[in-house]
């Protein structure tokens, strides 16, 4: 079975632009979470979605938003990019009833 997939792999944007990151969970996984990992730090929780509804949100500004589609894939949107948004963005999926989260390879975002 395919694991969690994310696209694109790498992305370079300039300050003020908007970015959309995409995630496809493992087949059968209905819960998707997003994390931001700044270089040298542990991942920070951004959002969790389950059954197309937001079920949790971390301490991130309103510039960050997300949504989940009927096929359980998800998008993370970031508006008005700042240099500090440069990070590895990780998506994780989970099977309902199991607390193990499986992570994708991430999208490396560089903001210039």
Partner 1 sequence: GDSVTQMEGPVTLSEEAFLTINCTYTATGYPSLFWYVQYPGEGLQLLLKATKADDKGSNKGFEATYRKETTSFHLEKGSVQVSDSAVYFCALSPYNTDKLIFGTGTRLQVFP
Of 40 and 84, the one with the shorter C-beta distance to partner 1 is 40
Pick 96 or 112: Cβ nearer partner 1:
96
Residue burial 48-66, b: 16+ Cβ < 10 Å; e: rest: bbbeeeeeeeeebeeebeb
* Of 43 and 78, CB closest to partner 1: 43
Contacts with partner 1 by CB under 8 A lie at 4, 31, 33, 35, 40-45, 48, 50, 55-56, 58, 90, 92, 94, 99-106
Smallest gap from residue 4 Cβ to partner 1 (A): 8
Question: What is the chain's percent helix, strand, coil content, to nearest 5?
Answer: 5, 50, 45
Structure-token pair, residue 104: 């994708």
């Amino acid at each position: 079975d395919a694991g969690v997939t994310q696209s694109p792999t790498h992305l370079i944007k300039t300050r003020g632009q908007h970015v959309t990151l995409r995630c496809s969970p493992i087949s059968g996984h209905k819960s998707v979470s997003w994390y931001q990992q700044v270089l040298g730090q542990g991942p920070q929780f951004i959002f969790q979605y389950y059954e197309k509804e937001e079920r949790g949100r971390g301490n991130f500004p309103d510039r960050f938003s997300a949504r989940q589609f009927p096929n359980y894939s998800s998008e993370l949107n970031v508006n008005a990019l700042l240099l500090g948004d440069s990070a590895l963005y990780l998506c994780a999926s989970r099977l309902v009833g199991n607390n193990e989260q499986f992570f994708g390879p991430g999208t490396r975002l560089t903001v210039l």
